[in-house]
Amino acid sequence: MKVRPEQLTANLKQRLAPVYLVHGDETLLVAEASDAIRGFVREQGFDERNVFTVDPGFDWNVLREAGASMSLFAQKRLIELRLPSGKPQDAGSKALLEYLSYEQSDSILLIVSGKIDARSQQSKWFKALDQRGVTVQIWPIKPQQLPGWINQRMKAVELQPTRDAVALLAERVEGNLLACVQEIEKLRLLNGAGKIDADAVRDSVVDSSRYDIYGLVDAALGGDVGRITHIVNGLRGEGVEIVLALWALAREIRELSRMAAAQKNGENLEQIFRKYRVWETRKPLIKRALARHNVNVWQQLLCQAGRVDRTIKGVVAGDAWEELLQLAVKTALSES
């Protein structure tokens, strides 16, 4: 059964299907649809989760075994299969058809895939999956659709943008939905709920500060402690909102935590870079950062970012700028 992304929530509430396929080449929208499915099935008691990533040499027998075996401790489980190429090849097609032949009562299969072309959608495995479960195709947002999409996203976080504000943001993000969502988050953080005009967008997207907060992020990823100290002191001296500096650094740490987890699960760097839309110019910085810390350390740094946030709010005693400096330095340095 084909379901449009905007119909997914209503469809989930009607009934749970034994298998879901989310596919497309718009990473953000694929991730959001997949998250919606994960969250809903978790609420229905599917607490166990098995994740498999299909890369060269992947053994499709793991899917057969998962389909034929009972869940550990008889718990309901979500089996997640990540198919970046969108093509399971012959071995995968046979394994998927075999899995779909089983009657599943305690398992749901979620396939998260890259774009599946029209020819592949005529294959036996795709047709069988569409008949047995739910397929969600994610289409890219067209340029003429982007302003409407931005307007909807801003209103969802209680922002009331003017037409000029929406047009300016659409122009600046140039179709990069992930960057667009990040800018909307920043606008909400800096301005709170309410009206947003073009000047607010311009001030947020174009940082006029001599000490750029994104420079702080790059210095932390690059391991440049001297530059970190210089930038933090400059931001503090120029009266830049510390919450904005923390937002930029914490967002990067959160993404790196997810990348490190994906790397631990066997995904290669190029797959990860495609999934998280890492620009070519930033790949060396990200590689250095991932080599410096494992997933556990990134999660610890994320917890420390939470402490900085509580310090800013006055919940925890301390100097928030000093705490931010320490967070950036720990991000930059390898643990001895």
CATH architecture observed for domain 213-332 = Up-down Bundle (1.20)
Residue 190: the pLDDT is 86
Taking only the tens place, the pLDDT of each residue in 208-239 is 444 578 889 989 999 999 989 989 998 888 78
In the chain, CATH 1.20.272.10 sits at 213-332
Nearest partner of 278 among 292, 262, 264, judged by Cα: 262
Q: What percent of the chain has pLDDT over 90?
A: 51
Q: What's the pLDDT tens digit per position in 284-299? A: 889 999 999 999 999 9
Within the chain, all domains assigned CATH 3.40.50.300 are found at 5-138
102: burial class by Cβ within 10 Å (0-12, 13-18, 19+)? middle
> Which of these ranges, 42-51, 257-266, 321-330, has the smallest mean pLDDT?
42-51
Residue 104 has pLDDT above 80, yes or no: no
For 146-205, CATH number out of 3.40.50.300, 3.30.930.10, 1.10.8.60, 1.10.490.10 equals: 1.10.8.60
- How does pLDDT run across 113-138, given as a tens digit for each residue? 988 988 899 999 999 999 999 999 99
The CATH architecture that domain 5-138 belongs to is: 3-Layer(aba) Sandwich (3.40)
For the question of whether the overall pTM of this predicted structure is more than 0.75, the answer is no
Residue 196's pLDDT band, with cuts at 50, 70 and 90, is very high
Residue range(s) in the chain whose domain bears CATH number 1.10.8.60: 146-205
Q: Specify burial of residue 195 (Cβ count, 10 A radius: 0-12, 13-18, 19+).
A: exposed
Of all residues in the chain, the percent with pLDDT exceeding 70 is 95
Look up residue 58 and give its two tokens: 């992947």
Average pLDDT along the chain: 88
Residue 336's pLDDT is what?
53
